[in-house]
Every structure is written in structure tokens, then in C-alpha cells.
Amino acid sequence: MIKLGRTGAAALTITVLSALAVVGGSAGSAVAVDTYVEPRPDSPFYGLGRAGESIKELAFRRDQSWHLNRADRRTREFIEMAEENKAQEYEELLDEADFRFRRAVETSNKVRNLERVENALRKRTEVLENVRNEVSEEAKPAISLAISKSSQARTSVSAAISTSTPQNTVPERARNKVVEELQNVEEKLEKIRENVRGELQKGGDNIEEIRKIVGDIEIETANNLTEKIGELADENIPGNVIVEVTKQAQNRISAAAEHAVENRSLERAIEASRRHLEILEEIENRVPEEAEPYINLARERSSHHIGILENVRKGLENNEITSGEIMNTVRGEVDRIGERIRERRENLRDRIQGAIDEDNFDNLLDNLKEEAGNRIENVPD
């Protein structure tokens, strides 16, 4: 596809005129623009391209690939605008991407289809997290809201995949439940977005205020995911899904802590970590056996995280670190602990596989519980 900025208008005009000569008519020109070029959202030809999309959608409205492609395209367009400090003018691009993900779910009747949606949501989250570190502060709240939607949507999709039938079909009720959950998430986050807009208007370009907003969004998301962990355990959802949601919740807490600028923000992150740890302790004996070692590992990570945040808070109170240093301090410590946990997770997989081969999984599980308990008790303050 051809990227087009304002300076490329002349080239686009030639392309459109050539297309018109072939297909004729306004509908044909719209389809030609969408097919042969990719005008930027701030291009005068963007509306024509979107009109072409609408025409083509008459044929592709039940095609999952079409909706996932549109979701990716809208996300990329928003990122392009955010990189040029135009994020607030083009937030609706992210809204349409969310709509496209819902449509992709609605058109998924096989497990492989939902797996494609889950994979697309995971990639979108990763891309937005990376971009958030590169754009202006004003763009970060919108990106955080999009990350929040993607994280929670991915959880719902994963749970639906786990309810598949032996024929790998996804029950209609499961698809409908996912769509309903996604709509509920969007409604809740819409209220948050209105508050964000109000705060941005009051705070102007105050970087600390914007970081507080981002932290609040991340905390809200982390708390929602944490409560979801308990619900999934009650519904007997497979352990691998619960483990993945646990990791996502912990990542959101870490992101909230990184954006803390004062004691209130740190305290909220600490409270979220404590609640997360509490839920993990509650479900420890309610998850499938194969998930227990990973839940214990997650408990250890949460305990470490609480210790890190408590130390950062003390450092802030004692003027040993400044508010501007919180992000790098938290990120450095969390990355260090995260690397250790990742190494232990890989080792854990090998040990579990070995235990299954040797048919002594129960003994291994008892040993791992004891190890995890000792590590959690010895986590430094």
C-alpha cells in the first residue's frame, strides 16, 4: 500500500484520475482510493478512501479477516497521528478498531477464528505499549484506554476459546457473551474517557497530571482483571487462561506504578498489588493442578512488587528520589524481578514436564508450594 501525506496529493490525484478512467463514477473512485492507496487520516482524500471501504464491506461484512485488517489499519492510522501530536483529534480511529474486533468475534464460529482475534489483540497491546513510550504525554491517555480495552477483550476471548466443543466450534452463546462483555468494558471506559477529557482541559499540558490519569486508567484495568481471575476460577476455566490473565493484571499494575508521580498514585498501586495477591491466595486451591505452580510464581512476583513499591514510596517520603525518578526506578526494579521470574517460569516448565514423564507430579507440586512459600516469606521490604 502507498503511504500518502499532504505532499503526495498530486501523485494521488493522478492515481485517482487513472482509476476513474477505468471504473468511472464516484463509487468507483472511492473503491480505487481504498484499493490502491492508503491516505493518511489528515489527508483530504481520506474520506474518499473510507467511502471505498464502506462499499467493499458490502461483500466482506461476514469476513473475519476483513474486520481484523480494518482494526489493524485504524490502529496504525491513530499511531501515525499520535506521533505527530494529533492524538486527541483522531481518537475515534481507536474506537472503530474496537468495533472491528467485536465484529471479528461475531463472525468467529471456530476456535481458530477466536485464536486469531486473541493473537491480534495481544499484538495490538504490545504495539501500543511500545508506542506509548515514544509519543507526547497528551497522547498517552488515549493509548492507555485502548490498551485497557484490548487487555480485557483478550481475557473474554480466551475464556470463550476454553469453552469450545470437541468439534472445535464456538457456541453462539459464548460468542454473544464475549460481545456483551466487550460492550460493557467500552461503556465503563467511555465514562473514564469523559473524565480524562475534563482533566486534560483543566490540566493543560501538565505532565504530572497526565501521568496521574494514565496511572488511574492502568489501576482500573488491573483491578478489573484481578476480579476476573476469581470469576474464571469459579467457572472452572482452564488453568492456562487464568495464568495468562494473572500476567496481564500484573503488567497493568506495573504500568500504573511506573506512571506514579506522588504518594497517592503509589498507594493505589500498592493496594492493587495487595488485592491481586489476596485473590491469588484465594484461588490457589481452586485452579487445576497444572496451574498451581504458576499461580505460586505469580504470588511471589506480587510480593516482590509490593516490596519494590513500598521502598519507592519510602524513598519519595525521605526525599531520596524525586517524582521524576519514580518511573525509571520502578521500571528498573520490576524488569529485574520480571527477568528472574521469567527464568524460573522456563525452569518450571521443564521440571513439570519431567515430573509428568516420571509420573511424580504430586511430589513436585508439594515441593514447589514449599519453595514458593519460603520465597514469599523471605521477600525483602
pLDDT value at residue 230? 92
Contacts of 4 (CB under 8 A, 6+ apart): 11, 12, 37, 38, 39, 40, 43, 45
Residue-wise pLDDT tens for the chain (381 aa)?
334 443 344 444 444 444 444 444 455 544 444 444 578 999 988 988 888 888 888 888 889 999 999 999 999 999 999 999 998 889 999 999 999 999 999 998 889 999 999 999 999 999 999 999 889 888 899 999 999 999 999 999 998 888 777 678 888 888 888 999 998 888 888 888 887 777 777 755 577 888 888 998 999 999 999 999 999 998 888 888 898 899 899 999 989 988 888 888 889 999 999 999 999 999 988 888 778 888 888 888 888 889 989 998 898 888 888 887 888 888 888 788 777 777 777 776 666 666 555 556 566 556 655 655 555 555 544
Domain ranges of the chain: 1-59, 61-232, 290-381
Contacts of 292 (CB under 8 A, 6+ apart): 239, 284, 365, 368, 369
Cα Rg of the chain, angstroms: 23
pLDDT value at residue 370? 62
Report CA-CA distances (Å) from 15 to 2, 28, 29, 34, 37. Answer: 11, 13, 10, 11, 8
pLDDT value at residue 361? 57
Contacts of 112 (CB under 8 A, 6+ apart): 168
Residue 157: in which H helix or E strand, if any?
Answer: helix 140-161
pLDDT value at residue 9? 40
Angle between helices 292-317 and 361-377 (to 10 degrees): 10
pLDDT value at residue 362? 60
Helix %, strand %, coil % of the chain (to 5): 80, 0, 15
Burial of 87 (0-12, 13-18, 19+ CB in 10 A): buried
pLDDT value at residue 351? 65
Q: How far apart are the C-alpha atoms of 284 and 217, rounded to whole Å? A: 28
Full-model pTM: 0.79
Largest CA distance in the chain: 76
DSSP string, 191-245: HHHHHHHHHHHHHTT-HHHHHHHHHHHHHHHHHHHHHHHHHHHHTT--HHHHHHH
Report CA-CA distances (Å) from 305 to 51, 55, 229, 255. Answer: 49, 51, 18, 12
pLDDT value at residue 186? 86
